[in-house]
């Protein structure tokens, strides 16, 4: 679905993921978005610049930190870009309507547990603050740190 959505919208998967985070959690600072996407600050700036030029994201002054900006979706552009997702959500709702209350609750429990497991795994994969990418991977001469010797 993500590949088809990328093709339909002309956005790459990282841009789509950024828009998903902003839709769910906005406003976010660029640093917060970078942490969620596992991007460097420079990579995030380039990403946000592209999304802003496309009219999908707006930067707003942070009310408490004049060094930071807040990122939000441009609602009109986001609605146009999300039409295929709205169709998908409508299809999911139709499917859910066929379930009994007990089946729906069981499905919700499984999906919540899966989401929690995904969040925990993502958190475990996040680098410790202050570590460099090379420190996390191991040196090139030794290979990745996860490889058995």
Q: In the structure, what pLDDT confidence band is assigned to residue 83 with cuts at 50, 70 and 90?
A: confident
Give the separation between CA 23 and CA 3, rounded to whole angstroms: 19
Q: Point out the least confidently predicted range of 24-33, 43-52, 63-72, 131-140.
A: 131-140
Residues 91-141: tens digit of each pLDDT: 888 999 999 999 999 999 999 999 899 888 888 887 766 665 545 444 444
Partners of 29 in the β-ladder: 70
Task: Look at residue 30 and tell me whether its pLDDT is greater than 80.
Answer: yes
Q: Quick one: CATH architecture of 2-81?
A: Orthogonal Bundle (1.10)
3-state secondary structure of 146: coil
How do the residues of the chain divide into helix, strand and coil, expressed in percent and rounded to 5? 65, 10, 30
Whether 119 contacts 112, CB under 8 Å: no
Domain-wise residue ranges, the chain: 2-81
């Amino acid at each position: 679905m993500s590949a088809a959505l990328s093709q339909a919208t002309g956005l790459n998967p990282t841009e789509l993921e950024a828009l998903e985070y902003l839709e769910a959690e906005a406003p976010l600072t660029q640093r917060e978005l970078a942490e969620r996407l596992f991007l460097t600050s420079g990579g995030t700036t380039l990403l946000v610049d592209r999304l802003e030029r496309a009219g999908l994201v707006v930067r707003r002054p942070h009310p408490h930190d004049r060094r930071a900006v807040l990122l939000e979706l441009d609602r009109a552009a986001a609605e146009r870009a999300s039409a295929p997702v709205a169709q998908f959500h409508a299809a999911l709702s139709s499917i859910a309507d066929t379930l009994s209350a007990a089946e729906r609750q069981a499905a919700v429990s499984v999906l919540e547990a899966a989401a929690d497991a995904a969040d925990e795994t993502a958190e475990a994969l996040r680098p410790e603050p202050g570590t460099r990418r090379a420190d996390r991977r191991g040196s090139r001469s030794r290979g990745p740190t996860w490889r058995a010797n």
